[in-house]
Amino acid sequence: MQNNGSTRTMRIQLLLTILLFPACLYAQDSVLIRGRILNEKGEAVEYVQVGLPERHIGTISDMDGQFEISVPPDTLVFCHVSYETACYPVTGPEEDIVIVLHEQELPAAVFIGGDTREKFLVRPGTKVMGGLADFYRPSTGGLGGEMGSIAKVRKPFLIQDIMFSIKANYIPGCVASINIYRIEGEPETFVNVLHRPLYVNICISDTPQEFDVQPEEPVLLEPGKYYITFQIVSTDAEVVRKYLETPEPERDSKAMHLFTTLYFKSSYQRLSAMGEFKPIPVNIGMAVKGLEYQ
């Protein structure tokens, strides 16, 4: 007979099997759009989120700004924390569109006087025994899913360190983005508060890796509710292509997986870029440290 702890863990693992398996379903009249994203200087813009937010369809451009997506006729949206959002009307298939993003004007720096104290804004909860989050499914696009931790800010807080661990990574060329969203309104909306991206290279390893991301720009959080996330934005596309061409029975069972430990503390998750954020009962144990203004 199983004890309550074992039963609870099995239920959580079953729930995560359902939650963490992306299923991107497109309308039958979807058309293929390919293109490249540049800035005003003609330089490629890397890792832009591309898609239809209201339909929860999205992908991420590669490091050269190139993207490919199948969508129904609608207005395609392009989002990057360093640039103004751009839109493009989709009326049919296109092979070589060029999108130019305009750099957004940074807000003036805000200086707050008074005393500060070092503090952990977020800590992991209780570890889920045997619970692991698997972030990547190459057969369904793979990029853009997010999971993280909730932070409730009661006094102005300057972020200095965002810490997390990766249990194991078998994804070649894996690049992750750290995002910080302010949660507003009812129904809840998620607004990214960063003005410069935070990228992390995740090496292939079957042993745990610890990461400490220190923002180069000041990230000052005003009182409110925030969601701090981990998101895979890039992989080695050629390796992924060869993996998908390999018959499933012949694939390495470890290949193309990234695992993090799970903790019992409520959070949110979305399965793809521009997907819908949904509440879940666990998080990936991110810790956030900085200065709280008194």
Report the CATH number that the domain containing residue 221 is assigned in CATH: 2.60.120
Which residues does residue 86 pair with via DSSP β-bridges, in sequence order?
78
The kind and range of the H/E element at 243 are helix 237-245
**Structural domain contains residue 107:** no
- The pLDDT of residue 262: 93
**Residue found by looking up tokens 């997010």 in the block:** 146
**Structural domain contains residue 21:** no
- The pLDDT of residue 4: 55
Of 56, 71, 101, which residue constitutes the final position of a domain?
101
- The token pair at 19 is 């939650």
One domain for residues 217 and 146: yes
One domain for residues 168 and 85: no
Domain limits at 49? 31-101
Residue type at position 182: R
- The pLDDT of residue 24: 41
Q: Are 171 and 232 in contact (CB under 8 A)?
A: yes
**Residue found by looking up tokens 């409520």 in the block:** 266
The kind and range of the H/E element at 36 are strand 31-39
One domain for residues 97 and 213: no
One domain for residues 94 and 219: no
Residue type at position 185: G
**Structural domain contains residue 9:** no
Specify the number of domains making up the chain. Answer: 2
Within a 10 A sphere around the Cβ of 47, how many other Cβ atoms?
22
CA distance 178 to 162: 9
Per-residue DSSP letter, 200: E
**Structural domain contains residue 47:** yes
One domain for residues 197 and 155: yes
One domain for residues 144 and 280: yes
One domain for residues 119 and 96: no
Of 101, 132, 153, which residue constitutes the final position of a domain?
101
Domain harbouring 44, CATH code: 2.60.40.1120
Of 101, 123, 138, which residue constitutes the final position of a domain?
101
181 Cβ neighbours under 8 A, 6+ residues apart? 190, 191, 192, 193, 226, 227, 228, 229
One domain for residues 84 and 164: no
One domain for residues 126 and 230: yes
One domain for residues 239 and 96: no
**Structural domain contains residue 5:** no
**Structural domain contains residue 227:** yes
**What's the distance, CA 5 to chain centroid?**
30
One domain for residues 134 and 194: yes
**Structural domain contains residue 44:** yes
CA distance 5 to 199: 37
1 by DSSP, 3-state: which? Answer: coil
- Tens digit of each residue's pLDDT, the chain (294 residues): 445 555 555 554 544 544 444 444 444 589 999 999 999 999 999 999 999 999 999 999 999 999 999 999 999 999 999 999 999 999 999 999 999 999 988 776 666 777 899 999 999 889 998 888 887 878 666 789 899 999 999 999 999 999 999 999 999 999 999 999 999 998 899 999 999 999 999 999 999 999 999 998 889 999 999 999 999 999 998 999 999 999 989 998 888 999 999 999 989 999 889 999 999 999 999 999 999 998
One domain for residues 119 and 97: no
CA distance 146 to 283: 11
**Structural domain contains residue 11:** no
Q: Which long-range contacts (CB under 8 A, 24 or more apart) does 86-93 make?
A: 90/31, 90/33, 92/31, 93/31, 93/32, 93/33
- The pLDDT of residue 129: 86
Which residues does residue 212 pair with via DSSP β-bridges, in sequence order?
163
- The token pair at 60 is 């991420």
134 by DSSP, 3-state: which? Answer: strand
- The token pair at 76 is 């395609």
CA distance 179 to 200: 11
